[in-house]
Every structure is written in C-alpha cells, then in structure tokens.
A and B are shown apart, each in its own frame.
Chain A
Amino acid sequence: MPSPPSGASAWRTARLLSREPQISTGRTLRFTVPDWPGHLAGQHVDVRLTADDGYQAVRSYSLAAPAEGDTVELGVQAAPDGEVSPYLADVLPIGAEVEIQGPLGGWFIWTPRDAGPLLLFAGGCGIVPLMAMLRARRAAGSAEPCTLLYSARSPDEVWYARELADPGPAEEIRLIYTRQAPPGDPRTTGRVGAQDLAGLPEPGSARCYVCGPTGFVEHVADLLQTAGHPRELIRTERFG
C-alpha cells in the first residue's frame, strides 16, 4: 500500500502486537500503527479486513486506552456468528496486519479539560471507550470525582477486573450484576435501577457518558433524565 495522507480518512496498516483474554468472549488487542496521530478518550477506529479474493469487511471498535506512541489498544467481544469480531478475537495471528482508519468520532469524547464530576455507565463491552476515559483521567491525575457504574452479567464477564479493583483517587466503581453476583454482594441481581444511582453527584454538575447495547443505553439514559440529569450533559454511544 502507498503511504496514505494523514488525517482520519487514511487507511493505515496495523500490526497485531498482542492479544490478552479479558472475559470468555472478550479480548484486549494491541496494534502497532506507524505514524498514529494520537486520539482522545472515547474515540473509535474502523478496522478493515480483506479476504484473498479482495472482499472487505469493516467494523468500528473503540480505543480502550490513551495511545502509547504508535501502539493502540482495542477491546473486541466476539459476537456469535459475527463476520468480523470472532476473527479479530480468535483468528488474526500475532504479527499479522489489518487496516485501521481513525481516530473517529468527535462527540462521545472526554478530555481532562472537561470540568465537573464524571459519570460513566457501561453495559457489557460498552466498557471499552469508558475505560479509555477512566485511564485518561488517572493519567491526568484529575481530582474531580468519577463514578463508573458497570453492568455485567456475572463476575467472570467483567473486563479490566484487576484495574477496576484498585480505584484511583476520587474514583468509585459500582459493579451491577444482572444474572449472577459474587457471594456476599448485598444487591439483588437484575438490571440497573433508580436505586443504583443513589449518592451520585448532583444532576446538572456531572457529565454522563453511557455506552453499551441499545437496550441498556436507552434504559440508563431514561433513568438519568428521570433523576434530573439534563439531556445536554448525557452523551450516548450504542454498539448496535
């Protein structure tokens, strides 16, 4: 491939550096992307796969962490019978290449300059761009309060478990289990409800980011509005 011009529209070659399991169907993938221009927490890339006959398929994946030079991190969950995600999660060999375009998305983003408390709501693999925000916040040493409310089916479906078990300053992690909770969890399993929002920063001051499957996003955005959070401060991203 000729070297593409810089900017979001260019396709760059990305070499798979490492693959690390997160949950039974979810993997952290690290790619080296020469001349990566950097990105903001919350942005995503498009990943393009090419078959031997030239057929191509493209899907979007969120960036899971701030860039480290030319290395970017994605979190991919294998969808049952999916065309692209099972290939990325389990087939693409280490050292092999795909193409990446980005960074993309100028709305579902957070930077340390965004003042005020931060509320992050993740459903399933919707944790990926929110983890990027949490990591960016930790890296910047932000003193603003931040709560991550993370809905997962069961303890073994929790991504980034070790990192989340060790909250940074002014940071609170609330794990909401929908099917099966660890022993001793006082909360009854089930989807996020109004009671799970108790004790969060005042509506009107906090920026809310909601990401996950459409049903989760719709439900949480409604709960937030009912609790008085103004819609201007609620940003959503749906994974389909």
Chain B
Amino acid sequence: MSGLSPGFHGRGRALVDRLPPGQYPTESFPVLSIGPTPRVTTDHWAFTLTTETGSRRSWTWEEMMALPQERPVADIHCVTRWSKFDTRWQGVSLDVLLEEAETAADFVVAESFDGYTTNLPLEDVTDGKAWLAHSFDGYPLAPDHGGPARLVVPHLYFWKSAKWIKGLRLTVQDEPGFWETAGYHNYGDPWREQRHWNDA
C-alpha cells in the first residue's frame, strides 16, 4: 500500500463494519437523477401492477394509503459512493401489492413517471425486502427524492429504488433498465461492489 497517495490519512474508520466496500458515510441526503425532477401530484397518481400476461391492477393514492403501512429503517447505499445509515421510511410492502398477482415471472421492471426504468429479480422485492415508500423521516417524500412515492430496496444500490414510481411490470425474461443498459451492473449488490458491467 505504501507509495500510493502519500500523506493521506482519511477520516473515521469507526463505521467500517457497516459500510460496503468503497462507500463512505454521509449525514446529508445527496440527490442523483438523470434529468429534471418531474412534478407528480397525488390526485391523478396511480400505481399499476402488470403481469406477464398483460393483466393489470391499479391503486389510486387513497387506495394505496389505505393499505397496511410499514415503517422500515434501513441503511442505503448509492453507487456514487455515499451510504446513509438508519434512514426511516413509511410505505407499503411490495408483498402486499404482489399478494394477489397470478404470475410465473421471475423478474420485475420498475417504471417511473419520468420514463426511468430499472430491473430486479422478483425474489429481491418480496419477503419484506422492498417497499413503495411515500414518507421519509416522518414527512411526505420530497419531489427531488422521488416523491410522491418511490421504490425502496435497501439491500441493492439505490438506483434500483426507482423514484417517482408509477408501476411494476412482471417479466419472464430479465429486461435491463436505464442504468443497466448504460454501463451499470445488472444486479447491483453493494456488498459485492457490483457497480459496473465488468464487476463480477
């Protein structure tokens, strides 16, 4: 290691156990998105689940808010290398939304109001691993953080947690989404540091 970046000492090493490789902790909440923040209002909002056969089920904002609510607390990890500990969300578990879907699909594509897409294995959004979140830290989710509602899948890099989500599409074949076709890893496990296409 000696010889590289001489005189660099760095900051805290205290939280290293909780940090995936190549990440650093931040107290702030940086924003990453590909274009302007879409202004999505809750009056015409709907969340649509589409199965591989094309059958659809939609929830209006009021219907979604009437579903059982959960308050997950999780560490989140952005591929731009910040991690934020103990983030507090409120929303509906995807298990609730997927409960009645008749499907043989193994994958989902999350679709957003701004045209953004991201793909995930179905098993990564079931069994208490993913939420449709509408509140952060006790307040309605701000537009630049994906409000009125976003996906939250804390165990994968945060680009998988689509902002401004409008629906999930169940697919038999895996369909790489926006970043997944623009050079980012198809799965995105922060603990295996799966950032880019070439990462194992």
Chain A residues packing against B (C-beta within 8 Å)? 5, 7-10, 13, 46, 48-52, 54-60, 83, 87, 91-93, 96-99, 104-107, 214, 218, 221-222, 224-225, 231-232, 234-236, 238, 240
Contact = CB atoms under 8 A, between A and B. Distances in A.
A51 B38 contact: no
A56 B31 contact: no
Contacts of A8: 183, 196-198
A234 B13 contact: no
Interface of chain B, main secondary structure: loop
Nearest to B184: A106
A222 B33 CA distance: 14
Given A59-B81, A97-B4, A240-B30, A49 B10 contact: yes
Nearest to A55: B10
A221 B36 contact: yes
Contacts, number: 114
Nearest to B183: A106
A205 B163 CA distance: 27
Contacts of B144: 214, 218
Chain B interface size, as a band, is 35 or more
B132 to A, nearest CB: 23
16 contacts: A8-B196, A46-B81, A49-B4, A50-B5, A51-B1, A51-B9, A56-B22, A57-B11, A92-B8, A93-B6, A214-B30, A214-B31, A218-B37, A218-B144, A222-B36, A232-B35
B136 interface: no
B1 A52 contact: yes
B58 interface: no
B80 A50 contact: no
Contacts of A46: 22, 81
Contacts of B115: 232
B38 A231 contact: yes
Nearest to B197: A8
Interface of chain A, main secondary structure: mixed
B66 interface: no
Contacts of A234: 35-36
Given A8-B196, A224-B36, A234-B35, A60 B10 contact: no
Contacts of A218: 31, 37, 144
**Sorted from nearest, which 5 A-B pairs have the closest CB atoms?**
A221-B36, A9-B198, A106-B182, A106-B183, A49-B5
A51 B2 CA distance: 8
A55 B4 CA distance: 12
Contacts of B1: 50-52, 54
Contact of B33 (A55, A93, A236, A240): A236
B198 A107 contact: no
Contact of A7 (B13, B33, B195, B198): B198
Nearest to A6: B198
A91 B196 contact: no
A67 B82 CA distance: 28
Nearest to B143: A218
Contacts of B197: 7-9
